[in-house]
């Protein structure tokens, strides 16, 4: 079976990371993505980070057009006649100045889906401001939630606002609009702001706000470091473990694996004890009378003792290396895993088994993370600047 988006024609005017990442997702699902670039240098990423350009522009065609020139604007509009999607990431108003705004292109092709992926969207007092991932995360309150307690906000090398907040939401919006256009015959304008998308990811912090009237300081919420059973720990070799034993059953399994067996022995009942008649009755999981079982199964008590429990776990985990703990805990239903470097992640047996990593002419790259049964995804190399100009020149000649 062909890729699911086979035949979908996308004209991509975006640059750098968020827009190209969005159109990469579409290309991997089978869309025909034509990357429109300026003749003099093309996408800025070609010079700023050629490696990044190659990673996020695989499987696309490159056509050079100077949209400040009337002749090239006319050629672009000819492409719009048969396109399904136009993707752009300019500041609001730029496309109108180029003579390629939404209303103009909609008049040419009423079925067109016109997608704008910008930092702050098409409306609001910030719409004309420049920005990058760090700015959007700051305005969305995400940076305030990221990092260790009492320390400055931490910066991630995963561009959360650009990619999860922007590119992926734009991909979803485009696909929804394409389906709508095929049903109704009318396209629409997809307006995605990376600030909006980043704020929409704040589910846990918002839940805390609902519960307590305000969000918790970074490092103090349930999933940011407040819990001993959902935390990061250093091992003997200086590498780290991710302990995600959030539920009592996982935490009990974890504690049983890392602590001496005698701590889990139940107290013996004295002869004649009035409660001894119930000693042989089956008990629900987590109801044992050993101290660690009671601790793991009592969230309130665990919270009160969180600091000493966290320190105790840290001291124990310092006795072995990351890989020793990982091997010991891997099949014990503990939700504990090693924290890998990128290189280790690429070589990880689970990642390899899923076939996510593939080789390109310039190094390892990642296939689409979406798997289908009964459909294919598509891979390819990144194009050189204007590589496909002859193809579109031939089309112009045939049209003439």
CATH number of the domain that residue 296 is part of: 3.30.1540.10
Question: Is 362 a member of any domain?
Answer: no
CA dihedral 91, 96, 102, 106 (to 10 degrees): -160
Question: Is 259 a member of any domain?
Answer: yes
Question: Is 361 a member of any domain?
Answer: no
Burial class for 305, CB neighbours closer than 10 Å (0-12, 13-18, 19+): middle
CB under 8 Å to 338, separation ≥6 — which residues? 239, 240, 241, 242, 322, 323, 325, 326
Residues 127 and 30 in one domain: yes
Considering 325, 341, 357, which residue would you say is the last residue of a domain? Answer: 341
* Number of domains into which the chain is organized: 2
Cα 286 to Cα 301: distance, rounded to the nearest angstrom: 14
pLDDT at 198: 99
pLDDT at 82: 98
Catalytic residues: 162
Residues 104 and 158 in one domain: yes
What share of residues in the chain are helix, strand, coil (percent, to 5)?
45, 10, 45
Considering 324, 341, 358, which residue would you say is the last residue of a domain? Answer: 341
Q: What is the pLDDT of residues 90-112, one digit of tens each?
A: 999 999 999 999 999 999 999 99
Q: What is the pLDDT along the chain (400 residues), one digit of tens a residue?
A: 889 999 999 999 999 999 999 999 999 999 999 999 999 999 999 999 999 999 999 999 999 999 999 999 999 999 999 999 999 999 999 999 999 999 999 999 999 999 999 999 999 999 999 999 999 999 999 999 999 999 999 999 999 999 999 999 999 999 999 999 999 999 999 999 999 999 999 999 999 999 999 999 999 999 999 999 999 999 999 999 999 999 999 999 999 999 887 666 665 655 555 444 444 444 444 444 466 677 777 777 777 888 899 999 999 999 999 999 999 999 999 999 999 999 999 999 999 999 999 988 889 999 999 999 999 999 999 999 999 999 988 666 566 5
Question: Is 16 a member of any domain?
Answer: yes
Picking from 156, 300, 331, the residue whose alpha carbon sits closest to that of residue 227 is 300
CATH number of the domain that residue 78 is part of: 3.40.50.10540
Residues 382 and 260 in one domain: no
Residues 45 and 115 in one domain: yes
> Where in the sequence is the domain holding 259, given as residue range(s)?
230-267+281-341
pLDDT at 285: 42
Cα 8 to Cα 178: distance, rounded to the nearest angstrom: 9
pLDDT at 364: 93
Neighbours of 213 (CB within 10 A): 7
pLDDT at 305: 82
> What does 281-337 look like in DSSP terms, one character per residue?
S---TT--SSHHHHHHT-HHHHHHTHHHHHHHHHHHHTTS-HHHHHHHHTTSS--EE
Residues 170 and 24 in one domain: yes
Residues 385 and 333 in one domain: no
Run of H or E residues at 21: helix 18-28
Query: What is the model's pTM?
Result: 0.90
Residues 171 and 72 in one domain: yes
Residues 21 and 113 in one domain: yes
pLDDT at 311: 94
Residues 86 and 141 in one domain: yes
> What does 24-58 look like in DSSP terms, one character per residue?
HHHHHTT-EEEEEE-TTT-STHHHH-HHHHHHHST
- Its sign, for the CA torsion 389, 390, 395, 399, is positive
Residues 245 and 290 in one domain: yes
pLDDT at 284: 44
């Amino acid at each position: 079976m062909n890729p699911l988006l086979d035949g979908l024609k996308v004209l991509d005017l975006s640059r750098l990371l968020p827009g190209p990442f969005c159109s990469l997702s579409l290309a991997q699902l089978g869309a025909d993505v034509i990357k429109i670039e300026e003749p003099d240098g093309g996408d800025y990423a070609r010079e700023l980070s050629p490696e990044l350009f190659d990673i996020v522009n695989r499987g696309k065609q490159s056509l050079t057009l100077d949209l400040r020139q009337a002749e090239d604007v006319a050629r672009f509009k000819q492409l719009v006649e048969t396109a399904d999607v136009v993707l752009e990431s300019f500041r609001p108003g730029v496309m109108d100045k180029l003579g390629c705004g939404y209303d103009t292109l909609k008049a040419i092709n009423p079925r067109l889906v016109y997608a704008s992926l910008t930092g702050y969207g098409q409306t609001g007092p910030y719409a004309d401001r420049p920005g990058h991932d760090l700015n959007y995360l700051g305005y969305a309150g995400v940076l305030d939630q990221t990092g260790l307690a009492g320390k400055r906000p931490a910066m991630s090398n995963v561009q959360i606002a650009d990619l999860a907040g922007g590119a992926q939401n734009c991909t979803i919006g485009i696909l929804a609009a394409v389906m709508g256009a095929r049903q109704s015959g009318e396209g629409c304008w997809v307006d995605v702001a990376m600030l909006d998308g980043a704020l929409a990811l704040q589910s846990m912090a918002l839940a805390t706000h609902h519960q307590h009237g305000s969000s918790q300081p970074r490092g103090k919420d349930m999933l940011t470091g407040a819990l001993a059973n959902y935390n990061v720990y250093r091992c003997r070799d200086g590498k780290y473990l991710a302990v995600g034993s959030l539920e009592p059953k996982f935490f009990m399994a974890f504690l049983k694996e890392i602590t001496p067996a005698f701590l889990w022995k139940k107290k013996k009942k004295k002869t004649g004890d009035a409660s001894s008649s119930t000693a042989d009755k089956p008990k629900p999981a987590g109801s044992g009378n050993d101290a660690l079982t009671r601790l793991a199964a009592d969230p309130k008590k665990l919270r009160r003792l969180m600091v000493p429990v966290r320190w105790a776990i840290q001291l124990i985990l310092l006795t072995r290396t990351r890989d020793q703990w990982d091997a010991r805990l891997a099949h014990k239903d503990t939700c504990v895993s090693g924290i890998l470097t990128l290189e280790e992640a690429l070589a990880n047996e689970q990642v390899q088994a899923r076939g996510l990593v593939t080789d390109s002419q310039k190094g390892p790259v990642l296939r689409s993370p979406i798997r289908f049964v009964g459909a294919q995804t598509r891979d390819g190399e990144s194009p050189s600047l204007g590589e496909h100009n002859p193809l579109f020149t031939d089309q112009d000649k045939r049209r003439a």
